[in-house]
Structure 1
Amino acid sequence: MTPPTLSVLDLVPVREDQSTSDALAATLSLARTADELGYRRYWLAEHHNMPAVAATNPPVLIGMVAGATRRIRVGSGGVMLPNHAPLVIAEQFALLEAAYPGRIDLGIGRAPGTDPVTGWALRHGAGGVTDEAVSRFPEYVENVLAMMDAAGVGLAVQGRTHVLRATPVATSVPTVWLLGSSDYSARLAAEKGLPYVFAHHFSGSGTAEALALYRSSFRPSPELAEPSTFLTVNASVAEDADEARRRALPQLLMMLALRTGQPLGPQVSVEAAEKVELAAGQREIVEAMAARWVIGGPAEAREQVARLAATYDVDEVMIHPVAGAAVGAEPTGSPAREETLRLLAG
């Protein structure tokens, strides 16, 4: 099997021994590592009001990461469009593209990425993330595309047409991707002729069906002549397979809490995670999640990644490095996450 091209997804995790400043420093170190190793792209998520996730503002993070790296593409994985006015997103990413031409990806999602209270606050109390914002998602995507184009878009106001541009003189635009964990965005991406990514790292089921729907329904567009997609996967890799499994425990416990409605907190250390006793039903959930992740030693993990790429017929796999930290790890770094990237890169 031909090894796929590798990329990185980062949620900017916050451990119990870290401040937000520490977590950001660790992300910049991880991004530099990915850049040095030849990873293709580095995407940053959007989540709000979560004690273990500092990725609240993808455009700000993208500017930081792009400025700290040399060649890697940097993007959002993704911007949750119902949380924002389309013009704001178009302006932010047009500026990023102008600052780092040819290196910016705009991944767009339809989910709010937060709880209803935070969604309400995101829109200054003006109704929050409403059903209307979600239902108008296709229109908002079109608006973002049109506003970032050099020609801009004509806006009719009081009988006159006004030209609206995200930036005065665009010479290039970011690559726009649609993201999703259901078949909705697969259909929309195919209809609009845009690249598409299914959240395999989060959902773990329905990937083959979503990709098949996207490929079979795809309509060529000025942006894209044929379907373009890749796979996302959680990974914990160490020189020893048992150590890789230990390092995966903190993230597995975090996902268990998220899926069973337990209170969330900062990510615990590997040692603290090992001491947690799970009920039989909880162990089953954890084991089922772990079975869908890439966990193991270098050769085994690289083979798993290549097998996943072959199974889903993609030439790129985006790694979400989930290896936790041991007690005493440097707060401004994430050595186990960096080692995952190094060992997968070979």
Structure 2
Amino acid sequence: MTPALSVLDLVPVRTDQSTGDALAASRRLAQVADGLGLTRYWVAEHHNMPGVAATNPPVLIAMLAAATSRIRVGSGGVMLPNHAPFVVAEQFALLEAAYPGRIDLGIGRAPGTDPLTRYVLRGGAGSTEEDPVARFAEYVDEVRLLLEPDGVEAQLGSRRHALRATPAARSVPTTWLLGSSDYSARLAADRGLPYVFAHHFAGKGTAEALELYRTTYRPSAEHPEPRTFLTVNAVVAPTYAEAERLALPNQQAMLALMHGADLFPQRLLEDAELIGIPEEQRSLAAAMLRRWVVGDPSAAAAQVRELAAMYGVDEVMVHPVGGATEGTPRDASPVREETLRLLASALAN
């Protein structure tokens, strides 16, 4: 079986790039994915990180959908506790109206940032009574209801008022729940929603989460069957040695994140090689690489097919993480583009 191929993008910022450069590189990457006939292109939500420009999924989706013609564009995901449900519904109702049939609303429960930024994002909310995470299921239901063309009615004082995310919706975006634990798997199954486990960074628990989701799934009118796909980090190059080399800058960034070290923009490959990986972290770095799709086109395509069969999915979303070398145009990420081209070609053969 050849699974459909999709893309996850965190809009990485390299040491030689401005935010504008990183956005331009992601726009080009989305256009490559669109031209290759890939299924969807999702952007993440992370805040206050020196190496990640994906801070606002709706703004990014509008930019990427405008720059492409057919690929579905969505959030992977909107971290719903950071936002008022009505605002999220308004944003995605407008996106769906502008690009009907092309918008995915992926919703997550994690903060996607550090405690201070989370506090600021939530306007100081954080007590047990106010904590938006505790109301996540309620917020998911609110967003879905508000996205319906007829909206909802709300009581304010003695009067009832109509509340719509947009005046004259003709369609709604597809809502997905995202997670790295069994919480979202249970909630998605209960609500009859598509679900994605964050395999690309969790690395374990994927099979258990998907089994829980599938076995407890309650069919909905929109989704009579459970629906899911797999996410995985990927670097594809003409040889394994080159792919492994190109993975180094992202390995270093992930190791820093895992060890609570200071975060930094993504290093150029030559700078990353000068620093290397400390001896005490090499076994962890090697284990990390084994969970990624890294290799030449034929081997990478075989890995993708194997992963799809292992987890029973018909779509794999790759997060292209290859680094850049000195002299790379600042508004491009050729290694990430080449990962998509090589992998798509190998899967087609």
Report the TM-score, using the length of structure 1 for normalisation: 0.98
Which secondary structure does the structure 1 equivalent of 2:328 belong to? coil
Asked if the contact 2:14/2:51 (under 8 Å) is kept, the reply is yes
Instruction: Report whether the alignment pairs 1:268 with 2:267.
Output: yes
CA distance in 1, matches of 2:232, 2:41: 14
CA distance in 2, matches of 1:182, 1:190: 13
Deviation at 1:157, TM superposition (A): 1.6
Amino acid across the alignment from 1:314? V
Post-superposition CA distance 1:132-191 (Å, at most 9, x none): 200110100000000010111121121322111100111100000000000000000000
Asked if the contact 2:125/2:131 (under 8 Å) is kept, the reply is no
Partner of 1:210: 209
Partner of 2:344: 345
Partner of 1:285: 284
**In angstroms, what is the RMSD of aligned CA positions?**
1.3
Asked if the contact 2:126/2:132 (under 8 Å) is kept, the reply is no
Amino acid across the alignment from 2:41? Y
CA distance in 1, matches of 2:128, 2:270: 39
CA distance in 2, matches of 1:231, 1:87: 29
Asked if the contact 1:40/1:72 (under 8 Å) is kept, the reply is yes
Asked if the contact 1:23/1:331 (under 8 Å) is kept, the reply is yes
Which secondary structure does the structure 1 equivalent of 2:131 belong to? helix
Asked if the contact 2:252/2:277 (under 8 Å) is kept, the reply is no
CA distance in 1, matches of 2:49, 2:107: 20
Closer, same or farther: CA 116–130 of 1 in aligned 2, 3 Å: farther
Aligned length: 345
Partner of 1:58: 57
Which secondary structure does the structure 1 equivalent of 2:275 belong to? coil
Structure 1: runs of 5 or more not aligned:
none
CA distance in 2, matches of 1:14, 1:124: 27
Instruction: Report whether the alignment pairs 1:233 with 2:232.
Output: yes
Instruction: Report whether the alignment pairs 1:135 with 2:101.
Output: no
Closer, same or farther: CA 254–148 of 1 in aligned 2, 3 Å: same
Amino acid across the alignment from 2:121? L
CA distance in 2, matches of 1:100, 1:277: 44
Asked if the contact 1:47/1:55 (under 8 Å) is kept, the reply is yes
CA distance in 2, matches of 1:60, 1:33: 20
Partner of 1:94: 93
CA distance in 1, matches of 2:31, 2:127: 36
CA distance in 1, matches of 2:23, 2:194: 29
Which secondary structure does the structure 2 equivalent of 1:35 belong to? helix
CA distance in 2, matches of 1:119, 1:190: 28
Instruction: Report whether the alignment pairs 1:180 with 2:186.
Output: no
Amino acid across the alignment from 1:315? D
Asked if the contact 1:112/1:129 (under 8 Å) is kept, the reply is no
Deviation at 1:277, TM superposition (A): 3.8
Which secondary structure does the structure 1 equivalent of 2:272 belong to? helix
Amino acid across the alignment from 2:67? A
CA distance in 2, matches of 1:108, 1:169: 24
Identity of aligned residues (%): 65
Amino acid across the alignment from 1:288? A
Give the alignment of 1:37-48 within 5 angstroms: 37-48=36-47
Asked if the contact 1:179/1:198 (under 8 Å) is kept, the reply is yes
Partner of 2:306: 307
Partner of 2:145: 146
Instruction: Report whether the alignment pairs 1:13 with 2:29.
Output: no
Amino acid across the alignment from 1:159? S
Structure 2: runs of 5 or more not aligned:
none
CA distance in 2, matches of 1:57, 1:171: 25
CA distance in 1, matches of 2:237, 2:149: 47
Partner of 1:103: 102
CA distance in 1, matches of 2:282, 2:260: 16
Asked if the contact 1:271/1:326 (under 8 Å) is kept, the reply is yes
Instruction: Report whether the alignment pairs 1:327 with 2:326.
Output: yes
CA distance in 2, matches of 1:265, 1:277: 15
CA distance in 1, matches of 2:115, 2:50: 16
Deviation at 1:126, TM superposition (A): 5.0
Which secondary structure does the structure 2 equivalent of 1:136 belong to? helix
Which secondary structure does the structure 1 equivalent of 2:221 belong to? coil
Asked if the contact 1:147/1:166 (under 8 Å) is kept, the reply is yes
Partner of 1:164: 163
Asked if the contact 2:11/2:52 (under 8 Å) is kept, the reply is yes
Amino acid across the alignment from 2:232? V
